[in-house]
Structure formats: structure tokens, C-alpha cells
Structure 1
Amino acid sequence: METIDLLVVGGGIVGLTAAIAAAEGGARVALVDAAINAGSNANAGSLHVQMQSRFIRLFPDQAPNVEASLPLYLSAVKEWERLDREIGPFELVRKGGLMLAESAEQMAFLEQKAAREARQGLHVDLLGRSELDKLAPWLGEQIVGAELCHDEGKLNPLVANVRLRARAIELGVDMQIDHVTGLGQQGHVTVHCASGRVHHCDKVILAAAWGVGSLVQGFGLDLPVRAEPLHMNITEAGAGQINHLIQHAERSITLKQFGSGQIVIGGGWQAQSRGNQDVPGVLAQSLLGNIALAARLVPSIGQLRVIRTWAGMNTTLDGKSLLGGVPGAERIILAVPGDAGYTLGPLCGRAAACLALGNEPPLDIDPFTPGRFSA
């Protein structure tokens, strides 16, 4: 019976970066992914740092956990910059994010939010319309002001995912398509797959987002991980002008422009769930509403054709990330980012790899350990 050093379950951004970090540290690594491609491979490439107004509205009970985690987002963007230097380029641009307001009430909301974020170390400014005209003259005339978070950015996830996967293969990571159905720990960890294959490994990292809950139920953990189906669009190329990540103080939207000139539009519009083992479907009302709102905020978008629309899954938890060994089965390591999982993914992946290798992780994991969900 051959035992490998580390098995990573989940081939999204967390699993890939964990596998890369562990392999660079000298471990023999295999990665098993179910190839649903509804998470990181459907992502739109926002690098979030400021609190998303959408999250505050939809999950107000979780907002304090997100607020307390804001320094983690600053570290996460720096981790992305490191990967961009070493494995990229990923078309990473970090010129800040604008959260737009269309009324005095929305500006008041941004003022309060910015004060909370500044206390957590974020670099934020409030801008009036005259200041916005110098920075973003392409905005709709109804925009009265905005919050500028200088820490935010964007990248091209298609490029990033391909380059990271290539790096993992270059390092000798054994990439397998399979579905993990069960785990056991008796000295080493035994991992059972739908194909009938059984892996014996020293450590396991569970980086399968919404899929981790069912895998650890037998270990006394009740994880509130949920798959949230969301909608996205991309336009044909337009004139290059949008340098910032764009959000709204009250409405669900993100938009950003790639170096190609194409504009990606998303930000939390609902998609049709087809269960957790299949890619979500597109809803016409989300397509039309998302595009209409984008064109209202940036009128020039109304002149562009949408060339592709798709759906993916976000993972909701409790507003905080999940990092650390399963209580009583510490060779099984959980790695699930909190809100904005693609942003936090590489930092969480590297932290999980450090734990697997017995090294000091790049962050204090005490607030994020799985023990808070012990039944």
C-alpha cells in the first residue's frame, strides 16, 4: 500500500494554490477534482477588499465576521500580487474599487461603511461628483458620489487558472478527475472515490468549497456551507477606459474591463440551481436586469453586445474563512474561504499547505478553525 504525502480535494483556486505550495515545499501531492467547473472556473476575477454592500444586505448576521476579516483581504491581494510576479502575468490591475451612490442616503451608507473599513486598516476615500468626473468621467450623470477603496483590483481568471494549473503539473502534482465520497483517519487518512479508487495519504486538504460539509459530517462537524448560484456576462471589446472594479452602494453589481477591452458584468444576480453536482442555468431576468443596471451606471456599455453569459456557484459560510484541522482528526485540513472566495483563495491555499507541511501559516488561523462548528 503506497501512501502519498498529501491529497488535495478540490481543484479550484484554493486547491490549486495549496497543491502548488505543498509541492514547492517538497511534498508528493495528488489533487482530485470532480470537474463540475462551477466555482473558480466560472469566476469573474474581482479582487474584493471593501465590504460588499450586497453581502451586508443579504447576510446582515454575517457582516460582523466579514468586517473583522478585512485585514485578511489586504493580505490576500498581496498574495495574488506575489503569484502574479512568480507564475503570471494574470492581467492583474490594482487601481482600486469604486462603490457608487445615486442618492444622499446611499452616500450616508458609504460614509458609515468607510469609517468601519478605515478602522480595519483599509485605504478608503469618499468622492463627490466633481472628483469622480476627473477619475471616471464615463459614469452616468445620476451618480452623486462614491467610495474609493484603493486596495481593490481585478485580474483575468481564465489566464490565472490556466497558468496556475500548468505550474502544478510542472511541479509533479498528480491531477485526477474523480469524486470523493468518503474519508477515514486511522493513523493515515483513507480517501474513497466514486471510481472505486482508494487513496492512502499522510494528510488531506479539503478545498471543495460547498462540497466539504457532507465529507466531514461523520467527524462531528455541522458546517453551514451553501452553494449560491450566481450569474455573469461578458461583452464584446469596447474602448479601454474602466480601470477600477465597480460596485454599487445598494444594487447587486460588479463590473470590470479586461485588457482586451471586454467588460465582465456580474455581482450577485441569481442563477438557476441544478443541484450541487451540476453547473447552474442562466435566468433571462438576471441577464436582462444585470445588463440594464450596468448600462445605467456606465452608459457606454449600452452600445456593446453581450457575447457570452454563464452561471457559477459562490460558497456562503458564516462570513469567516474555515482553516485548520478537523477536531479529533487533525490530518484532515479544511480550507474554505469566507465571502469573496476567489480573492481569499490563494492565501487560504498557502495557509492550508503550511499546516499540512507542519510549517507556520502566513496568518493567525485561530479565528477560522473548524471547532466553532463542532456539533
Structure 2
Amino acid sequence: MLTRNSADVIVVGAGVVGAACAYYAARSGLRVAVLDRGPVAGGTTGAGEGNLLVSDKEPGPELELARISGELWRKLSEELPPDIEYEPKGGLVVASDEAGMAALRDFASGQRGAGVTAEEVPADRLRDLEPHLAAGLAGGFHYPQDAQVMPALAAAHLLRAGGERVRLRLGEEVTGLLTGASGEIRGVRTTVGELHAPYVVNAAGTWGGEIARLAHVALPVRPRRGFVLVTEPLPRVVRRKVYAADYVADVASGSAALQTSAVVEGTPAGPVLIGASRERVGYDRTLSPEALRHLAAQAIALFPVLAGIRAMRTYVGFRPYLPDHLPAIGPDPRVPGLLHACGHEGAGIGLAPATGLAIARSLTGGEPPLDIAPFRPERFSPAA
């Protein structure tokens, strides 16, 4: 039985990645305690758009993680309540000129070899997919595997689906890790007391580096700030997730400066979500009129119908950024019993299921759903 002060595994972080780790660990028969200093989805997850994307990822380990996660999300959508708003609506990436289309063709060609469906859409067919798109675009690519969920509810329902094997301890901050004589994990110390377990999963998002420091290991997770504009409720004027080709370059960039590239999508509830901006400014939550002006202008350039629509609110979030743009997933050989599941930047919602399954398999000695060597957490240590 899961007691108040012991578990088989402790997951630090109640965002969607931590929730997925807890869900798959519980499904594997483990007793899981999930700790968070705030509420469920109170960090990056709650400030996300719910993107489940393959369209923005080049061939490699992250794309493989995204493809497997996409399949798992489809299965989860049949198991979890419908209010997670899972929509397999597809994505549309558009180019403004022929040079942009040539770049999209090259990008899509590589993706197809990695199992992604990418369908070229000529300029005169774009409005068949999105009737309100601007005129004059050179064409685009349709990605039917792209999808969306409501991230906060997805995290909450994953935790609930773990049943009695998952215990939530919210408003409880981890202040230290308990270790044995050989440095192995024995549990955590929190603002409330001690909790004992032989395994700790660091799913703390942008604070993943702080949890790693408690274990005296290096994991250079940094916050990357982003804003999202939310419009008034509308009829479904945007059917898919639509963005311009330069968004892909911004995702892959390591620049600390402000970057904006509009990602526009409708939601079942009616509001249109407009992202995405990126900048490294620490945990500064100050509203950036410059970022919002850029996002609004770029969204109107894609969908002129939005020019007369009111933006009702905006929200800010922090993506957990690692320098090589790959998350840290799996056991940390420097600290026996410590595992990491953080650093997914802006893709954590889309990558959560495969991450959680990989962590659960690592805990139980099973075969991971993919080769997790590229995500090894110790790759940032000086010795590596």
C-alpha cells in the first residue's frame, strides 16, 4: 500500500511530463508519489498551447520521440475523458515565396524518410484546407499527424488515471535528496517532511536544473520565455494548426534574443490561440508589448480576418531549454536511483507519453520504446 511517507518512486513535478511518468509507472505496478510545490500543471504545462507536433522536427531522436508519443496520445484519447480536447486536426506549414517552398520541400523530404506524412499543398489549394488564409502565399505542407490537447486537463486526467497507485502531494517543495552510504537515492526532503523511495524522477520542468543541483550533478536547464495571445470566442475560422516556415528555424535556434513566429490555431471552445515567442530572460514575467505586437501582426498576415477580432487576454510561460534542444530522459549514472525527465523546451506536451513510458520501463527493467541514449542526462557533465 502507498503510505504517506513511502513509495516505490517519487516523481518531482505535476506537469504533463511528470503526470505521464506517474501514469505509466503506476500501470507497471509501481506505487508513485507525485510532488509539486504548486498545483497540477502550474508551470510550463498550464501555459502551453497543447501542441502535439511532428511538423517542426527534423529527422533524429526528438522526431522519433514525437512520433511514438503521437501514437500513444491517440491511445490515451480513447482511455481518458473527452475534455482533454484531443484533436487530430493536422498542421499546415506555409511559405510566403518560392525560396521558402524549396526549403519546406527539403525539410519534408527528410521527414518522410523518418515516417512522417508530409503532403505538399500548392498555392491554389491552400484555401481548400484553410478558407480564411491570406492570398498570395506560395504554398505549404499539410501534416495530418499533428494534433492538439488541452494540456492542463490532460495532465490532471493522466494523474487521476493512475488510480490508487498514485498519490499527489501538492504545495510541497523538495528541498533536498536523501541518499545512502554509497550515494544512492533513498528519498527526498520537503518543506513538509521526508518521503522515502529508492527512485526519484526529476520531472520539474524549468526547475529541473535545481533538482539536479540538489543531487550535485550538472543539468543546464534554463527558462525560455514565451507569450500566447487568446482571442474572443469565434466560429471555427482556423481549422488546423497553421504557422509560417520560419517557426521551424526559431524552434531550433539557441538565440537568447526575442524571436517571434506566428502559430495560429482554433480551439473547440472558440478562442484562437496565437503564439509563439521565444527569449531567454530568466524568470522575468513582465509583459512584453513588443512580443505581443509582433505576434498579432504575424497572425493577421496569415489570417487577415483576425484584424477585427479582440484579443481577450495573454499568458506567459517558460519553456525548459537545454543547449542541444534535446530533453534529458532516463537514469543518471552519477546518482543511482535518480532519473530525469525534463528539458523538453516547448515540446513537452507532445513528447510526454513516450517520455513517461521510457521512464517506467527504466524503472522496471523493460525495453524502452526507443533508444534513449541521445537523451542521456550525463551528457552535459565535464567528463562527458
TM over 0.5: yes
Out of 325, 332, 339, the residue aligned to residue 331 of structure 2 is 325
Q: Deviations over 1:125-171 (max 9, x none)?
A: 22211121222221001322112222111222243234334334665
> 8 Å contact 2:177–2:215 — kept in the other structure?
no
Match status 1:226 vs 2:222: yes
Match status 1:118 vs 2:112: yes
* SS of structure 2 residue aligned to 1:341: helix
Q: 1:17 to 1:260 in 2, by over 3 A?
A: same
Amino acid at match of 1:257: G
Out of 143, 146, 151, the residue aligned to residue 149 of structure 1 is 143
Amino acid at match of 2:188: V
Match status 1:109 vs 2:103: yes
Q: Which residue matches 1:58?
A: none
1:152 & 1:209 partners in 2: Cα distance?
A: 23
1:314 & 1:307 partners in 2: Cα distance?
A: 23
Q: C-alpha displacement at 1:344, in angstroms?
A: 0.3
Out of 344, 362, 371, the residue aligned to residue 338 of structure 1 is 344
Q: Which residue matches 2:358?
A: 351
Q: Which residue matches 1:374?
A: 381
Q: C-alpha displacement at 1:229, in angstroms?
A: 0.9
Q: How many residues align?
A: 358
Q: C-alpha displacement at 1:217, in angstroms?
A: 3.6
1:138 & 1:77 partners in 2: Cα distance?
A: 28
Q: C-alpha displacement at 1:367, in angstroms?
A: 2.2
Q: C-alpha displacement at 1:35, in angstroms?
A: 1.5
Q: C-alpha displacement at 1:271, in angstroms?
A: 8.6
Q: Deviations over 1:78-103 (max 9, x none)?
A: 11112111113222121321111111
Out of 200, 205, 209, the residue aligned to residue 209 of structure 1 is 205
* SS of structure 2 residue aligned to 1:143: coil
Match status 1:314 vs 2:319: yes
Q: Which residue matches 1:46?
A: 51
1:125-136 aligned at under 5 Å gives the runs 125-136=119-130
Amino acid at match of 2:99: E
Q: C-alpha displacement at 1:68, in angstroms?
A: 4.1
CA RMSD, 1 decimal: 2.4
1:370 & 1:292 partners in 2: Cα distance?
A: 39
Q: Which residue matches 1:21?
A: 24
Q: Which residue matches 2:173?
A: 179
Q: C-alpha displacement at 1:205, in angstroms?
A: 0.7
1:364 & 1:334 partners in 2: Cα distance?
A: 15
> 8 Å contact 1:91–1:259 — kept in the other structure?
yes
Out of 73, 89, 92, the residue aligned to residue 95 of structure 1 is 89
1:282 & 1:344 partners in 2: Cα distance?
A: 28
Out of 191, 195, 200, the residue aligned to residue 196 of structure 2 is 200
Out of 288, 291, 296, the residue aligned to residue 283 of structure 1 is 288
* SS of structure 1 residue aligned to 2:297: helix
> 8 Å contact 1:96–1:244 — kept in the other structure?
yes
Out of 244, 254, 267, the residue aligned to residue 276 of structure 2 is 267
Q: C-alpha displacement at 1:196, in angstroms?
A: 4.9
> 8 Å contact 1:281–1:310 — kept in the other structure?
no
Q: 1:136 to 1:324 in 2, by over 3 A?
A: same
Q: Which residue matches 1:83?
A: 76
Q: Deviations over 1:290-344 (max 9, x none)?
A: 1221111011222321112110011111222311111142311111253511110
TM-score between both structures, scaled by the size of structure 1: 0.88
> 8 Å contact 2:22–2:159 — kept in the other structure?
no
Match status 1:250 vs 2:246: yes
5+ residue gaps, structure 1: 53-62
Out of 343, 365, 368, the residue aligned to residue 361 of structure 1 is 368
Q: C-alpha displacement at 1:282, in angstroms?
A: 2.2
Q: Deviations over 1:225-261 (max 9, x none)?
A: 1110100111112121422111111251212111122
Q: C-alpha displacement at 1:222, in angstroms?
A: 2.4
5+ residue gaps, structure 2: 248-260
* SS of structure 1 residue aligned to 2:20: helix
> 8 Å contact 2:92–2:242 — kept in the other structure?
yes
